[in-house]
A and B are shown apart, each in its own frame.
Chain A
Amino acid sequence: MMGQLVLRNLFHRPMRTLIGVMAVAVEVALVILIVGLTSGILQETAKRIEGIGADIMVQSPAAQMLITFSGSPMPIKIADKLAELKYVQAVAPALLQFNSTGGVETVWGIDAKSFREVSSGFVFLQGHDLQDPDDILVDDWQAKAKHVKVGDTYILFNHKWNVAGVVEHGKGARLFVPIATLQDLVGAHDKASLFLVKCTHPDHTEDVIAEIKDLLPNHPVRPLKEFMTLMTSTNIPGLETFINAMIALAVSIGLLVIFLTMYTTVLERTRDIGVLKSLGASKVLIVRALLTETSLLCLLGIAAGVGLSYLVRAGFLALFPTLSILITTEWILRAGLIALVGAVLGASYPAWLASRKDPVEALSYD
């Protein structure tokens, strides 16, 4: 019976119900997409780093975990020192430069030969390796996003590059240029942002890490085998706080809209509440009815929000094919729970107000 009353009440004012559902949907979609975007970027970056095939990565002391945004150049001569260590097979320097003009990407300046030694080389889908100073390699996702092919001109850092090859994605970055040219362009002569180290055998990784830490005590030295597990929001300073802040903002929106929706509902149904009280409905029953209505509205909103998340993700990926947005069951459930808790909190005050209404006053309300 209560279910019938709740359902009928919800559909008695379809526009108000729709607005409530949309608010929850937006809230849920925001949470899913913000977490999905950050997780997606982190995971995709980590996959690409792991996909290089190197065993160890050495960064500068000021470098961040999220290497996408790291400049932090070190003297390139460190590579020679690293190459002298026991169990080190090859060392490849890389200069990372962030580009935000005409897109958002990180460009890697590499030495083709040493990179080949560390990574076992690129898988070429078109063209060839870096040969000339103005050559650029583009991974297949980037090539598709930018509609480029071998022989095209690619403008980056106000410089015209020649697309020498299109490579399979998953090896560190989406754009590769000769390190020397990039150093000249950005004024970082003889500098590198990181060094990739290949060991003679994977079992020697810990030994080499220990040696490198002796040689460069203040530099972060990470085994790439576990890089993906390290690339979480908790390991990126400020990222978890940012995510929590965005979630709090999303929940606030939902909570406020639900509060307003249920507040106007209670006002509109003042007489009905008086009627229920005259029939002997307890305060608990009245609160339960309103919270049940809120929960149902929220569930509809959660379902819509999940659908909206997938829709928005599809839209983003159509516009930005290189973007990675990770939607997981865990976060769908979490977003749903957060929305439900927020909605119930938002409806609590109006429900409490309703339960406390004087029945005589409520019955004479117009």
Chain B
Amino acid sequence: MTITVTIRSRLDDATDPERKALEPILKTENLWKLYHAGKVEVPALRGVNFDVLPGESVAVMGPSGCGKSSLLYVIGGLARASRGKVLVDGNDLTYMGDAERTKLRRSKIGFVFQRFNLLPTLTARGNIAIAQYIHGDGYDPHRFDVVTKMLGLEGRLHHRPSEMSGGEQQRVAIARAIINEPKILLADEPTGNLDTKNSDIVLEMLRRLNKDLGQTIVMITHNPEATTYFDRVVHMRDGIIVDGVPAD
């Protein structure tokens, strides 16, 4: 059965010349990712072509094992592509070594994970500040205050992750991810460990980041309802992108 879909985004309103003038902030060309299980090669990504324009929010959906996380890790520079091209804000990750990808990640990419992945020994303030420390610009109190206020974290900054709810922890993780104004925010099932109420809060936060601050977001999700918060939905199956249902 062939599924014909129309992928819509808010950029559909732009005229053709305006749209053509926009360079993708993220672009993959014939992207392959192969894992080796002993002597067996397992392709997680099979020739993926994927574009994201600046300011877009894209949800990537698909069954478990379809390659969503692998796509996220490769475009985020956490893993290396086996074949093909990955361009992030004009930087070709394909031939970059670990040190260069680390540098790129530091300056251009923010990650949010399903399991929050906060450092358990630091407070919320420390977890956010360490991202600034690693970035190398040091503590910026103004940016810190803007981000924590926007995410409603002012009263929780002195608490450690074990003293916070899942929703609060994920908001701290989002704050950590955006504190250095990354070009792209990559979210790996950020609502996977949250209840409905906190999921809605986190998704709304992400939507506001995209709409109000123009943050480019690529999010992996299993949750069809989550896609309503995003401009565009992309479906994956067996390591390739297939057309999917529109966001609304």
Contacts and interface: CB of A to CB of B under 8 A. Distances in A.
B176 A279 contact: yes
B122 interface: yes
A272 B98 CA distance: 18
A275 interface: yes
Contacts of B73: 360
B78 interface: yes
B19 to A, nearest CB: 32
A279 B103 contact: no
B30 interface: no
Contacts of B107: 280
Given A280-B105, A281-B102, A275 B121 contact: no
A280 B139 contact: no
A365 to B, nearest CB: 11
Interface string A274-291: 111111111101000000
Contacts of A232: none
Contact of B126 (A1, A278, A359): A1
Interface in A6-25: 8-9, 12
A278 B131 CA distance: 10
B99 interface: yes
Contact of B121 (A2, A12, A277, A279): A12
Given A1-B139, A2-B133, A4-B122, A275 B117 contact: yes
A9 B122 CA distance: 9
B79 A8 contact: no
Contacts of B121: 5, 8-9, 12
Contacts of A8: 121-122, 126
A363 interface: yes
Contacts of B126: 1, 4-5, 8
Contacts of A2: 133
Contacts of B122: 4-5, 8
Contacts of B105: 278-280
A5 B135 contact: no
Given A1-B130, A1-B133, A1-B139, A280 B102 contact: yes
A360 B44 CA distance: 14
Interface in A142-164: none
Contact of B134 (A4, A272, A285): A285
Given A5-B130, A280-B103, A275 B139 contact: no
State which size class the interface on B falls in.
20 to 34
Interface string B150-190: 00000000000000000000000000100000000000000
A360 B79 CA distance: 7
Contacts of B78: 277-278, 359-360, 363
Interface in B97-153: 98-99, 102-103, 105-107, 109, 111, 113, 117-122, 126, 129-135, 139
A198 interface: no
A279 B79 contact: no
Contacts of B130: 1, 5, 276, 279
Interface in A260-304: 271-272, 274-283, 285
Contacts of A9: 121
B218 to A, nearest CB: 15
Given A4-B122, A5-B130, A12-B120, A278 B111 contact: yes
Nearest to A11: B121
A271 to B, nearest CB: 7
Given A9-B121, A360-B79, A276 B99 contact: no
Contact of B99 (A278, A282, A363): A282
The 9 closest A-B pairs by CB, nearest first: A280-B106, A1-B133, A8-B121, A280-B105, A12-B121, A275-B117, A278-B111, A359-B78, A279-B134
8 contacts: A1-B126, A5-B126, A272-B119, A279-B105, A280-B103, A280-B109, A282-B99, A282-B102
Given A276-B134, A277-B78, A279-B176, 10 more contacts: A1-B129, A5-B121, A5-B126, A272-B119, A278-B105, A279-B111, A280-B106, A281-B134, A282-B99, A363-B117
